[in-house]
Amino acid sequence: MIGVGLIGSGFMGKCHAMAWNSVRIAFGDMPEIRLVHLGEANAELAARRAAEFGFAKASGDWRAVIDDPEVDVVSLTTPNQFHPEMALAALRAGKHLWCEKPMAPSFAEAEAMAAAARASGKVAVLGYNYIQSPAIRHIRRLLDEGAIGTVNHLRVEMDEDFMADPDAPFFWKHEAASGYGALDDFAVHPLSLIQNLFGRVTRVLCDMAKPFGERRTEAGGRRAVETYDIASSLIRLETGISGTLLTNRSAWGRKGRIALQVFGSQGSILFDQERFNEFQLYVTSDRATEQGYRTILAAPQHEPYGRFIPAPGHGLGFNDLKTIECHELVAKIEGRPANVIGFDEGLDIERTVHAMARSFETGGWMEVGGEW
């Protein structure tokens, strides 16, 4: 049996709760899951969310969740700035940890979290659910098989439009305490795909921009925006692959786009998260008269799609990826092979993000892992 504690019950907290509730149904090869304790900012909200999500206990103090002896693993889904204190407390209390990305606003805090995870001997993974997509998993298999030859270039974009309206009010993601902006809010997701498929980034050149310098406040005033909604980077990987990484939180018309273009010596692969139940494949081994991109629909042959749906063309959703991620977390806890991004791998992503920010400050190329 695994006892689960949840801290935070917003959008991502609900995603975690849905995953914990459905993972055993989807996969079967699971221990019993018990939803033990939910923590929120106040007791009233905690009690309401615990009833909705199926948790046995509720507290208005997150520490009570960590201190609960019936809790074996903590799902941490609070805003970024609260991750370090809560993650360190959970790991020092001997709990396994499932923490949403990014790790922390500062690199020093992320380092401390990774060190605590190593010292604890517990499983600590980050919420990079896009690597769990059956399409992405099959793309990795195609790359391993050399289906498009030697990869030489990547183009990756992540765009949404939830900050595109200049009249939208100031909120916590505009505060410097939340991080840099698009870099650590967005770029970490494409970086998780890049790391999972191709390896580490070693050099970066980055520019950032604020499309709107200030926002209205709920009180009727104006407040300066402290984060950057746009970030554009040139990247170089340890394998020598070159690439671009473009992120924008104010891109009208884009709702959840992570567009991955992979170019190789014998073909290319295209993937877009807004259509994540399919990808496109071009191979030069086709006859010249039929060469062109073919659309591959996700199907039961692309594991673990078949755990949810028995036929192609019906499609998984965002929360299904979270359920797959939950299954991988439990597999890791049980000592089985698992496709996860742990805190040490997550630290590499954080290292890249902070190198990009430093590149923007200095106006030049920056070595990832260098002195900054």
Closest by CA to 315, choosing from 274, 257, 261, is: 274
Q: Which two tokens stand for residue 221?
A: 């005033």
Q: Write the burial class of residue 335 (CB in 10 Å: 0-12 exposed, 13-18 middle, 19+ buried).
A: exposed
CA separation, residue 242 to residues 24, 202, 236, 237, 359 (Å): 41, 10, 5, 6, 17
What local confidence, expressed as pLDDT, does residue 282 receive? Answer: 98
DSSP string for 283-329:
ETTS-GGG-S-EEEE--TTSTTGGGT-SSTTS---HHHHHHHHHHHH
| Closest by Cα among 202, 186, 196 to 144 | 196
Tokens describing residue 335: 């000592």
Q: Can you give the pLDDT at residue 370?
A: 63
Phi, psi for residue 367 in degrees, rounded to 5:
-75, 130
What tens digit of pLDDT does each residue of 37-47 get?
A: 999 999 999 99
d(CA 352, CA 372): 11
Burial of 252 (0-12, 13-18, 19+ CB in 10 A): exposed
Residues 20 and 75 sit within 8 Å (Cβ to Cβ):
yes
| CATH code of the region 2-129 | 3.40.50.720
Q: Report DSSP letters for 81-102, one per residue.
A: GGHHHHHHHHHHTT-EEEEPSS
* pLDDT score at 371: 56
Question: 143 phi and psi, to 5 degrees?
Answer: -65, -45
- Helix (H) and strand (E) counts for the chain? 10, 17
| Intra-chain end-to-end CA distance of the chain, in Å | 45
The topology under which CATH files domain 131-362 is Dihydrodipicolinate Reductase; domain 2 (3.30.360)
If one counts every other C-beta atom within 10 angstroms of the C-beta of residue 56, the result is 12
Burial grade of 214 (CB within 10 A; 0-12, 13-18, 19 or more): middle
**Domain boundaries in the chain?**
2-129, 131-362
Q: At what angle do helices 343-362 and 107-120 cross, to 10 degrees?
A: 170
The tens-digit pLDDT sequence of the chain (372 residues) is: 999 999 999 999 999 999 999 999 999 989 999 999 999 999 999 999 999 999 999 999 999 999 999 999 999 999 989 999 999 999 999 999 999 999 998 999 999 999 999 999 999 999 999 999 999 999 999 999 999 999 999 999 999 999 999 999 999 899 998 889 999 899 999 999 999 999 999 999 999 999 999 999 988 899 999 999 999 999 999 999 999 999 999 999 999 999 999 999 999 999 999 999 999 999 999 999 999 999 999 999 999 999 999 999 999 999 999 999 999 999 999 999 999 999 999 999 999 999 999 999 999 999 998 654
Burial class (CB in 10 A: 0-12, 13-18, 19+), 222: exposed
User: For the stretch 227-242, what's the b/e string if a residue is b when 16 or more beta carbons lie within 10 angstroms of its beta carbon?
Assistant: bbbbbbbbbbbeeebe
233 within 8 A of 245, measured Cβ to Cβ: yes
